[in-house]
Amino acid sequence: MDQHDSAMSILDQLKGINQDAGTFATGVLSNDISREDQIAFAIRLVDLALAIRQRAESTAGMVIEGSAIDDGIAHGRALPSPDTGQ
């Protein structure tokens, strides 16, 4: 699977999870979601996480040419580091 196919697969998985997240959350809050449905949703999340990790690891040696500009929106924010839990 090439990078484009990998990205499209990740986006498709995200779309499906996002569509079902509300139902899952409602079931958790009302405490009427079955054990099997909870496990199935968890497996989907794990599969997505593994796909993202695999894609990230496959791009570890890539060099991307270009430049970055500060658009003033991020204000120093970044994704949390898995090491610090921030």
pLDDT values of the chain reduced to their tens digit, one per residue, 86 residues? 788 898 999 999 999 999 999 999 999 999 999 999 999 999 999 999 999 999 988 876 666 677 777 777 666 666 666 665 55
Domain regions of the chain by residue span: 3-58
Instruction: Spell out a b/e string for 60-83, using b for 16 or more CB atoms within 10 Å of the CB, else e.
Output: eeeeeeeeeeeeeeeeeeeeeeee
- Cβ–Cβ < 8 Å for 44, 17: yes
- pTM to 2 decimals? 0.67
